[in-house]
Every structure is written in C-alpha cells, then in structure tokens.
Amino acid sequence: MSTPSLVLVPGLRGPAPKHWQTWLSHRQTDQGRQVRTVPLRGRDHDDLAERVADLEEAVSAAAGPVVIAAHSAGVITTVHWAARHPASTGAVRGALLATPPDLVSPLAEEYPSLDRLAAGGWTPVPRHRLPFPSVVAVSTDDRIGDLPRIEEYGAAWGSRLENLGAVGHLNPAAGYGPWWRGEELLAQLGMPLRVDVA
C-alpha cells in the first residue's frame, strides 16, 4: 500500500510559522513525503466556497491516497468539502480534525464575526457522516469550541473522539508548536510515523 500524501487544512488565518501543522509539514517533507497545504488568499479571506475549492484542488493534485490534517476552521472546511465533493472523498484514507470551532461561541476580535462567517457560507455546520475514518481531537478548555457541541459534531460525522485535555485551541498561543500526539493520531489514520535516522 502506497504512503499517502498529507494535506494540511489551516484555520481562518492560514498557515503560521510556529504552528503544529507547519512543524508536521517539515517533519513529513524531511522524510521525502508529499505535503500539500491549502492556501489562504489573504488574511481576511473568509469565503468558504473558495477554501473548499482549494481543498478539492489539493486532494485532486495529490498522487494516490491522502490523509488530511485539519485545524480549527480547517475542520469546518473539510466537512463542507466532503459534503460537496463526494466523488473525491474516496482518495482520503483518514482525517485528523483538531479543535474545530463550534461557530456559535463568539470568536476573538481578530477573526471575522459569526455573522460574516455565516454570510460567507460557513454555517450551518454540516452534520453528515464522513465517508472516511476520522478523529476529532477536542480540548476541554477551548473557548471557541464548546465541548458538548463539538462532541455532537463528532458523533454526527461518525468520528472517533480524542480528548486532549486542557490544550486551549491547540495553537502557538497555547504552546503548539510541536504536537507529538497529532503525529501518533495521524499514524492511526494511515500516515506512517516519521522514522528518525541516527
């Protein structure tokens, strides 16, 4: 079975230098594995349709199977993509869906308002079963992801729930950075662990 490509789906503000997704990308590319990051077309880009189209392009361009690692609003992008592009989902071996926002709890000032996100097509959040294995990694103290509501989303998506404990929003502000547990969860979904060479 061929090693899958890794497709990274960032949150609303796109890739960040000290983010765990960036760390993961470096670790995988160092192993010679193909990594694709869904781009962000500008800091204030909040048009869901364009993000879904970019994810479709990333999956379609990958050679062979893919594993998705999505964070925050990237999780919402992923579930919308799965609903809109069912023919492409067969390429997905699995998806790690880390700390999704509920899009009901207020966001910080630097993010678009919930009304603006609704106008951009982000809500309602799809509650259809995903056609590939998935893990929803949840935080017990994420102020933009109410735990019971995220658990409901995960159940609707058919995802296995992974409770990470109090990790905030699992972003650089919360100290992530390297996130070793994420790499282990991706391995469970079909993305082999990096093997360090002495």
Mean pLDDT by 10 residues, the chain (198 residues): 88 86 88 85 73 94 93 97 96 97 90 91 96 97 96 98 96 89 93 58
The whole model's pTM is what? 0.93
All structural domains of the chain with their residue ranges? 5-188
pLDDT at res. 112: 87
pLDDT at res. 41: 65
pLDDT at res. 167: 96
SS3 for the chain is CCCCEEEEECCCCCCCCCCHHHHHHHHHHHCCCCEEECCCCCCCCCCHHHHHHHHHHHHHHCCCCEEEEEECHHHHHHHHHHHHCHHHHHHEEEEEEECCCCCCCCCCCCCCCHHHHHHCCCCCCCCCCCCCCEEEEECCCCCCCCHHHHHHHHHHHCCEEEECCCCCCCCHHHCCCCCHHHHHHHHHCCCCCCCCCC
Q: How many CB atoms lie within 10 A of CB 181?
A: 15
Instruction: Judge residue 15's burial from the number of C-beta atoms within 10 Å of its C-beta, 0-12 exposed, 13-18 middle, 19 or more buried.
Output: middle
Length of the chain: 198
Contact at 8 Å (CB) between 8 and 24? yes
User: Could you tell me which CATH class the domain 5-188 is placed in?
Assistant: alpha beta
Q: How many CB atoms lie within 10 A of CB 50?
A: 16
